Structure 1
């Protein structure tokens, strides 16, 4: 089986975002705008937290997938490529988390 990546998801979201809203949940969400998409992302984040503290592995996997999907939709609407996020993660992981956080607080 071929490995599915976030880049694959980004491409799927971009393609589906261009579909007619009556044909695609992604297109419908994009058409509703960033406020609606961000609200849905927040809902999925809360559901992911609940799944995490509920000690339900299957539910946590499912909710995490929903969270990542909705994040990709929000990024798509904002025209922020996944690579920008990955570059920021790479920058942050080049130092310890404590050091990185301190640097953000004292620019």
Structure 2
């Protein structure tokens, strides 16, 4: 924490800065993204098992990395080359990669490929989909919340409840 930055500030502002610093320090010690919001942290903390925590941490860490690349574009221009930055800057490329990865995932089923190839293709698709979420300013927590709401109804009911366009 930069002590020079808080000199002359109101006590409430100083306290808020200290709490923010402590939360960021805690998150970094727990190997969690330091920009995790309270909803994400709450979900992480109430997860039932270490495996669920690992899933949440992995998704939020990937989201954090993508967000940092997006911020680098704004602050540094294109800066150091990065595949994520390239995707963030080119919607056509991003869409073509999502189509490609979805097709490759489908092929693993149609060609009866092994589980590791299926997992690898799903990881590729998930990564590219998360870049798209970042382009659209949609947080992973928003997607997870939609999924959690859907647990309470059947897929047929959920689809019927969608607004017709």
Q: Does 1:52 align with 2:109?
A: yes
**What is the CA distance between 1:102 and its match in structure 2?**
2.3
Report matched runs for 1:45-84 at 5 Å.
45-56=102-113, 57-84=115-142
Which residues of structure 2 form unaligned runs of 5+?
A: 1-52
RMSD (Å), alpha carbons: 2.3
Report matched runs for 1:7-22 at 5 Å.
7-17=60-70, 18=72, 20=78, 22=80
The TM-score, its normalising length taken from structure 1, stands at 0.82
The TM-score, its normalising length taken from structure 2, stands at 0.56
Match of 2:160 in 1: 102
- Greater RCO (Cα-Cα under 8 Å, separation 6 or more): 1
**What is the CA distance between 1:22 and its match in structure 2?**
5.0
Structure 1 residues 37 and 49: CA distance shift in structure 2, 3 A: same
**What is the CA distance between 1:31 and its match in structure 2?**
1.5
**Distance in 2 between the 1:21 and 1:102 partners?**
46
**Distance in 2 between the 1:47 and 1:85 partners?**
23
**Distance in 2 between the 1:21 and 1:72 partners?**
21
Q: Does 1:35 align with 2:69?
A: no
Structure having the higher Rg: 2
**Distance in 2 between the 1:102 and 1:92 partners?**
12
